[in-house]
Amino acid sequence: MLAKDRANLQEAQLQGANLFGADLEDAFLYEATLSDEMYGAAYLADVRWDHVNLALVDWEPVKRLGDEQRARRRKSVNDYLAAVRANRQLAVTLENQGMNEVADRFAYRAQILQRKVLWKQRNFWKWFGSAILALLAGYGYRMWHILVAYLFIVLLCAGAYFVLGIYYEPHLSFLDAVLISVTAFHGRVFSEPFLHSGEPQLWVTAFEAVMGLVVEGVFIAMLAQKFFGK
């Protein structure tokens, strides 16, 4: 599909259209429809967006590209790879045009689909690492994930300190256990207030200190990506 003569696609109904490899250079897409519930979304892998103003398109209805919808139907590696490529290419183009929030949505979808590719390729170590990043940080696009992880670990370990304190010294109130958990998470507690080696609380403290390093590292990486584009 060639559009070098500035194709006028104003209000075009492109939902479900296969635009794979299309050259849309200079095309006019004002209020073009790329997705609806009946026909799904357009297929956009390898589309050339040169000088196309994507701000004229309403991206709100486009939750998933047609490439992803097809990949989920067929479940083949090649289709998933095309879907990853389509989302990444679109995300880069949108970001270059200053539409960062919309770009983040498709970059996030690309990461999710890439994890599917790793599973199908039986690259389980990379898949596991990808799954951890998704859980802790939403690949840097879901900042609230890291807060939930932080609260979950702190409260889980606080509960462990409190329950173990019933049977072993020191005997802590739940608020004291939360305070110990917060300081342990950030690596400030390694033996105090657990002075005797072999106390089971020490294992909780060690676990929490390690998890704290992991979560803090992921959080720093998220900030770097968010504000410095790294």
Along the 230 residues of the chain, how does pLDDT read in single tens digits? 444 456 777 778 888 888 888 888 888 888 888 888 878 899 999 999 888 899 988 898 899 999 999 999 999 999 999 999 999 999 999 999 999 899 999 999 999 999 999 999 999 999 998 888 888 888 878 878 888 989 999 999 999 999 988 888 778 889 988 988 888 888 765 545 555 566 788 888 888 888 888 888 878 877 776 666 54
Nearest-angstrom CA–CA distance, 8 and 24: 10
Non-local (6+) Cβ contacts of 145 within 8 A are 135, 136, 137, 138
Which tokens sit at 71? 């990949």
* Contact criterion met (CB below 8 Å) for 104 and 141: yes
Residue written as tokens 């305070």? 179
DSSP code for 168:
S
The partner residues of 33 in beta bridges, in order of sequence, read 13
Q: What is the dihedral of CA 33, 35, 40, 46, to 10 degrees?
A: 90
**SS (HEC) of 5-48:** CCCECCCCECCCCECCCCECCCCECCCCECEECCCEECECCCCE
Verdict on whether the full-model pTM lies above 0.85: no
* Contact criterion met (CB below 8 Å) for 45 and 22: no
**Closest-CA residue to 36 (of 66, 73, 80, 8):** 66
Give the number of other Cβ atoms within 10 Å of residue 50's Cβ: 13
